[in-house]
Structure 1
């Protein structure tokens, strides 16, 4: 059955829950997991999973869960995933650590888009579900929040190196998120009375000594000033050593980093850059859009006037043109799996090729010799073929590839020279994109 791919759709913010609790070992695993499943089935509502995956996918039901856990078991651990076939998109994992280790269940829930949780009727059941789980499975700390805000905050390291972060975990109140469960150790370090008096939308002591805290009714408006004020008040209350104005200023700066920015890209590279920012991580998208808005690529100079074109210096012109088509097929063979449009040899496929090389960081990852001897000829030939097929261009073959030209109107273009410049560095993929050269050639043909 086909599930909605969480990372196969446009990158956008989502709600993320991280919950790591312990459970008993005297009862059967089915009995120990019953509260988890009851909470999920009672409260998930509009994002309830309908697919369970162990080693294979099955329609969601209890039997499928037990089967998936059984077939995925590896010594003292096992795991299953939960997904959806309809909007909103869900990526949920349940990991279990089993005896002789201390039994633990780790739950990660990601629901996209975050805007699904902009209305209280979607949020209240989620809150009750986590509260029910936290009452049954003791945790040291659990959190639900905007994924983008967590990324900008630097969670879970919060400025620490990786080893320190792994060793210490959430050993003090580094941050107050939308939804928080503070375990008894954290409660003791802050003081139970102080924690219970936190200014927040909901603060509750759980039967196992943990404290459940939710700053506001909904998480989707986390970047609003009202939400940031609530977040700062709660954080400074729990950490009297912090300065309120400093904390609030930092939160507002994070909101500014995530605020939408309207794209104003240079027209000749807009098709390429639009693909880049659509697929880039959403927590850095606004900054990247602003960067691209301010950037201007150099004007293409891989051309000469048509009356200065070098004449063909090959014995068989048509055979040379066929060779260029053959070289272009090498690019199709290289990229067709990840860039299906490369079969089409169109201006749109040039932008897809630009994006793929940029995304994969080709000039950095691959050996320079292979890039120059294999990739550059294929890229130059492919660019030339698009000029021929869509702008009425004509190849003027030369023995040296770097001298080969495509005549379009009153100019001849040097696609292999462009390809060589293009494949120098990751930055040169932007500065010398295939998309830009095509659109500049298109404009000059129209003007001529």
Structure 2
């Protein structure tokens, strides 16, 4: 069974639900967790799991669910994953800690895309599911919201050190999300009367003393002006020590960071930059597009006018050209499995190589000695070969690699110097991209 990999799909916003509560395992896991499963199946409209993963994947059923929990069980914990094979994608985890006091049930649900919850009825069913869970299991805190906006809010640490965040959890109102369940302890710290008088779409006291709060009818509208106003009002009401105008301004700033931005990349580098953007986390995607819209590649500096070219200074040019070819083949050997187009030595293969080196953070992830001794010569030789094959260039061999030139039109290009500049840092892979040098050389060949 091939499940939809939430993280392998195109970057877009997801619904994120976090539910943390206590449970009582003394009567047996099946009797204790059966209400959790039945509630999920009743309310997970269109996104019910069909795969359960313990030590291996199985088709979802109650029996496979119990089997997965049992085979992953240790004296202190057990857990499993729940997934889907068809749209929308689901990545759901259930983690049980028997060592906590009281024992703890922790579930995270990610459904992609967030737009699946556009309809108010589907959002209502999600609210009812969380309400039923929180009424059955003594909840500490639960929330459902846009995954992207949760990231921008700093969830779950909210700027705290990891050790502090794990120890204290949601010990005060750090944020008000679209859907919230505040446990009795948190309710009492705020004041039950204040909590129940919160201005919101829905506020309900649950039988165990928890309070369910929903700020707006639909989660997909979370970034609208009206929904942000409702969110800020609720937050300021629950935290009178915070300034309402500051809260609202922060929310609008987050909305602006998530608002769609039209790509207007440099045309010569659009194929590369589009792939760079595709690798950005969805909550950073629009900011990355804006950044790359404004970015312009520096004009290549690795060239001379043809009348200033250094003359050939080698005794056996054929042997030197053969050496350049061998160096270029080293790059083919390095990249061929990840970048199959490298065999073609085309402008497109340069773009593929640019993206591969950027994706791998090659200048930082490899030993500097290996980069300088092996990668730089191979990249320079390969770039030179692409100039020769595709632009009618001609090598002017030199004893020193960095002085070796490729004559194209009225310029000579220094591919080994370019390769050295290119491999300085991850940003240099864009500033000194192989693609950009090729396109500039192409424009000047006449």
Question: Under TM normalisation by the shorter chain, which class is it?
Answer: over 0.9
- Aligned equivalent of 1:116: 116
2:158 is equivalent to residue 153 of structure 1: no
Secondary structure at 2:272 match in 1: helix
Scaled by the length of structure 2, the TM-score of the pair is 0.92
1:157 CA displacement: 2.5
Shift of residue 339, structure 1, vs aligned partner: 4.0
Q: Per the alignment, do residues 98 and 428 of structure 1 end up closer, same or farther by CA in structure 2, a change over 3 Å counting?
A: same
Q: What's the CA shift string for 1:76-134, capped at 9, x where partnerless?
A: 21221122222222211111223686432211111112122222233222222111111
CA distance in 1, matches of 2:444, 2:285: 33
Hey, what does 1:443 align to over in structure 2?
443
Contiguous gaps of at least 5 residues in structure 2: none
Which residue does the alignment assign to 2:291? 291
Task: Give me the whole-angstrom Cα distance separating, in 2, the residues matched to 1:414 and 1:253.
Answer: 45
Assess, with a 3 A threshold, how the Cα gap between structure 1 residues 94 and 333 changes in structure 2: closer, same or farther. farther
CA-to-aligned-CA distance 1:238-262 (integer Å, 9 cap, x gap): 1222222221112112212222222
C-alpha deviations, 1:156-196, integer Å up to 9, x for none? Answer: 22233333323322111111100101000011111222212
117-126 vs 206-215, which moves further: 117-126
Q: Mean alpha-carbon deviation: is it higher for 160-169 or for 108-117?
A: 160-169
Provide the secondary structure at the position in 1 that maps to 2:68: helix
CA distance in 2: counterparts of 1:247 and 1:87, whole angstroms:
36
The equivalent residue for 1:274 is 274
Task: Decide which moves more: 325-334 or 435-444.
Answer: 325-334
Aligned mates of 1:364, 1:119 — CA distance in 2:
46
Q: Secondary structure at the match of 1:296?
A: coil
Offset at residue 347 of structure 1 (A):
2.5
Displacement of 1:307 after TM fit? 5.0
**1:231 CA displacement:** 0.2
Cα distance change of structure 1 residues 7 and 321 upon mapping to structure 2, 3 Å threshold: farther
CA change 1:385–1:106 in 2 (3 A) is: farther
Distance 1:95 1:336 in 2: 41
Distance in 1, Cα, partners of 2:81 & 2:35? 18
In structure 1, C-alpha distance between the alignment counterparts of 2:250 and 2:437, rounded to whole Å: 42
SS at match of 2:297: coil
- Deviations, residues 326-362 of structure 1 (Å, cap 9, x unaligned): 3233334434454454444433332232233233333
Verify: 1:414 aligned to 2:411, yes or no. no
Q: CA RMSD in A?
A: 2.3
Q: Secondary structure at the match of 2:21?
A: strand
> What CA deviation, in whole Å up to 9, does each residue of 1:266-320 have, x standing for no partner?
2232222221112112222222222222222211122234455445444554544
TM-score using structure 1 length: 0.92
> Compared with structure 1, are the counterparts of its residues 298 and 64 closer, same or farther at alpha carbon in structure 2 (3 Å cutoff)?
same
Corresponding residue of 2:184? 184
CA contact (8 A) 1:198 1:234 kept: yes
Aligned equivalents of 1:55, 1:47: Cα separation in 2:
23
- The residue aligned with 1:225 is 225
Structure 2 CA distance, aligned partners of 1:88 and 1:341? 33
**1:156-305 alignment, distance < 5 Å:** 156-305=156-305
Alignment partners' CA distance in 2, 1:61 and 1:182: 31
Q: Which residue of 1 aligns with 2:367?
A: 367
- Confirm or deny: 8 A CA contact 1:54 1:71 kept in the other structure: yes
Give the distance between the partners of 1:318 and 1:126, measured in 2 at CA.
Answer: 72
Q: Is the Cα contact below 8 Å between 1:269 and 1:433 reproduced in 2? A: no
Question: After alignment, is 346-355 or 272-281 more displaced?
Answer: 346-355
Task: Determine the C-alpha separation between the residues in 1 that align with 2:395 and 2:49.
Answer: 56
The whole-number CA distance in structure 2 between the counterparts of 1:440 and 1:283 is 34
Displacement of 1:22 after TM fit?
Answer: 1.6
Relative to structure 1, is the Cα distance of residues 320 and 87 closer, same or farther in structure 2, using a 3 angstrom cutoff? farther
Change (3 A) 1:50 1:312: farther
Judge conservation of contact 1:268–1:440 (CA < 8 Å) in 2: no
Aligned positions of 1:9-158 closer than 5 A? 9-98=9-98, 102-158=102-158
Contact 1:25 1:99 in 2 (8 A): no
Q: For the residues of structure 2 that align with 1:311 and 1:236, how far apart are their CA atoms?
A: 74
- How far apart in 2 are the matches of 1:49 and 1:311? 69
The count of residues paired between Structure 1 and Structure 2 equals 446
